[in-house]
Chains A and B, each alone.
Chain A
């Protein structure tokens, strides 16, 4: 197993390299970061030249990539445009943990991400937990009570929710749980941000503010996940070994959780493994609607500003996470299903 993981990690290196090259080339067409740098007015051409030089955008794409990857502190760059390379480069490159600076905010990308990532992890982690617990419970219950009124109701509601776009659910939840209760003079959920400025960033405040975004995100995913769980559970429940377990006189509940759930969770593990890394990127639409200061908003804003270092960093982070979670999924899969062995 250790060797398998090591080999997979080694294989990931060229893969990530190729991903980074492709992304970097694509970044060239994201837009002109200099165009909006002087605010509302178009940037003057003299300023453009200077900024381009200072930001290293005057270099060929290949050189820009090399600087991004390994940094430029081993060479000198021409900052004043006199054709002489007299200034020592300061960038260390991604490989040494330097993700560069945001073109727009001029802060290190790492700081920007460090500021946003915890918020996103909090939001998405909570959402994933809600979805998992809810989907497993709903899925099992629907499977055990197949074709009952409850099962049909869950199926119906799931299809409706699953077909709804997130922005609609988000706005609907705002309308029904914030706007209307407020009109009626009832307590209502906050719709924007992580906390009330006057109350400060306290735990109850953040939980309170998380309700609506988590609810909106969960409703959609819950619909899909619980369907998977239901069908997976139904398939397992019709297997011969479940009949065997029952014939042994084991209790229903025990058969369900000790014999069926482990088998039924296998396809779900794959699903989660594919889902979790994308959570790092945040929920772009939901974070924007609810004003949640997370990665999704950072990504959206950075793309709008053509802030390539930030966009690049977020995309690479998600890529690495995808690779890591794939390996992790395989490991967990082997742990759950003893028939699977990696050589």
Chain B
């Protein structure tokens, strides 16, 4: 039942050259996204989730950013080797992205209508009137009442949740084949979060697009994604189908993350376990496994050699030297 491959990212490495030194943000990650598939990318803040997505769309400011190596094949074309003009044709039209904070992600001095129609005019070649009609449809589609009148409103006249709906309507305006959602619910109230999630899931079905959902919230992932990638310090440390990941996590970091997650099906008297230590500084070139200093399964080899991301079960990959089930080296 393998669906056609849509996006194939291989060995992506992104660095930032700052006055403090080089930041190793993304250290050679590879993943594939198939048509209609939803992939979740999970990890702590600053582990390179957003940067890895922005890298493939050319949204990293260069300098200070630098994409050191890698390929990102989208429908047989490498996004990382496209010219700016070619990328403009992909961004928003083929691959769209919604962002974390709807308060700051919309331009405060342009009307909502303008921010939606400019896209339709650019990518779909629509005339202004036609684009306005389509914008009204889009806003109604994402559940904004009185849409025609609201076209002339500015972002500050919308609530946070409504703004995120506007953002979604805008980015889905050209029915992209991939939607990258960069923590789109993090800045919202919990009830609004659920509404936005439901909306995105509904729209995903209607458009039939593939999706990459970036989050630091494992709980969000469960009801949404088919496959999950866990990122740590710029590496993908585990990749599996969502059920496998929750029931049979094999990477010590994933195990620790899940132990820190409150669950309804767990006994009440068990305390949530926090992960000791702090994520490593990305200013140091990684040598060995970046999780080793915080890992309870650590062995000598972890300190000196970064384990590759390897298949350990069908459709289940981890980057770890240790077999957590038996203990000791794999």
Chain A positions near chain B (C-beta within 8 angstroms): 147, 239-241, 243-252, 254, 258-259, 262-263, 336-339
Q: How far is the CB of A178 from chain B (nearest CB, A)?
A: 44
Chain B interface size, as a band, is: 20 to 34
Closest 3 A/B residue pairs (Cβ): A249-B92, A249-B91, A248-B92
Chain B residues 91 to 132 lying within 8 A of chain A, measured CB to CB, are 91-93, 96-97, 99, 101, 104-111, 118-119, 122-123
Given contacts A241-B104, A241-B106, A246-B91, 16 further A-B contacts (CB under 8 A): A240-B101, A241-B107, A241-B108, A248-B91, A248-B118, A249-B87, A249-B90, A249-B91, A249-B92, A250-B118, A259-B110, A262-B109, A337-B108, A338-B109, A339-B108, A339-B156
Cβ 8 A contact of A247, one of B84, B91, B108 = B91
Question: In the complex, which residues of chain A have a beta carbon less than 8 angstroms from the beta carbon of B105?
Answer: 240-241, 243-244
Nearest chain A residue, comparing its CB with the CB of B84:
A252
Q: List 21 A-B contacts (CB under 8 A).
A: A147-B63, A240-B99, A240-B104, A244-B105, A244-B167, A245-B107, A246-B59, A247-B171, A248-B96, A248-B119, A249-B87, A249-B90, A249-B123, A250-B88, A250-B119, A250-B122, A251-B122, A258-B118, A263-B108, A338-B154, A338-B156
Given the interface contacts A240-B101, A258-B118, A339-B156, does A248 sit within 8 Å of B109 by beta carbon?
no
Q: How far is the CB of A233 from chain B (nearest CB, A)?
A: 14
Question: In the complex, which residues of chain B have a beta carbon less than 8 angstroms from the beta carbon of A338?
Answer: 108-109, 111, 154, 156
Q: How far is the CB of A254 from chain B (nearest CB, A)?
A: 8
Chain A interface, >50% SS class: helix
Question: In the complex, which residues of chain A have a beta carbon less than 8 angstroms from the beta carbon of B57?
Answer: 247
Question: In the complex, which residues of chain B have a beta carbon less than 8 angstroms from the beta carbon of A262?
Answer: 109-110
Question: In the complex, which residues of chain A have a beta carbon less than 8 angstroms from the beta carbon of B122?
Answer: 248-251, 254
Tell me the complex Cα distance, A248–B84, Å: 13
Question: In the complex, which residues of chain B have a beta carbon less than 8 angstroms from the beta carbon of A241?
Answer: 104-108
Tell me the complex Cα distance, A239–B61, Å: 12
Tell me the complex Cα distance, A239–B103, Å: 11
Write the B180-197 contact mask toward A (1 if CB under 8 angstroms, else 0).
000000000000000000
Q: How far is the CB of B186 from chain A (nearest CB, A)?
A: 13
Nearest chain A residue, comparing its CB with the CB of B108:
A339
Chain B residues 260 to 301 lying within 8 A of chain A, measured CB to CB, are none
Question: In the complex, which residues of chain B have a beta carbon less than 8 angstroms from the beta carbon of A259?
Answer: 107, 110
Given the interface contacts A249-B91, A249-B93, does A244 sit within 8 Å of B99 by beta carbon?
yes
Given the interface contacts A259-B110, A339-B156, does A247 sit within 8 Å of B96 by beta carbon?
yes
Question: In the complex, which residues of chain B have a beta carbon less than 8 angstroms from the beta carbon of A246?
Answer: 59, 91
Q: Is B138 an interface residue (CB 8 A)?
A: no
Chain B residues 52 to 106 lying within 8 A of chain A, measured CB to CB, are 54, 57, 59, 63, 84, 87-93, 96-97, 99, 101, 104-106
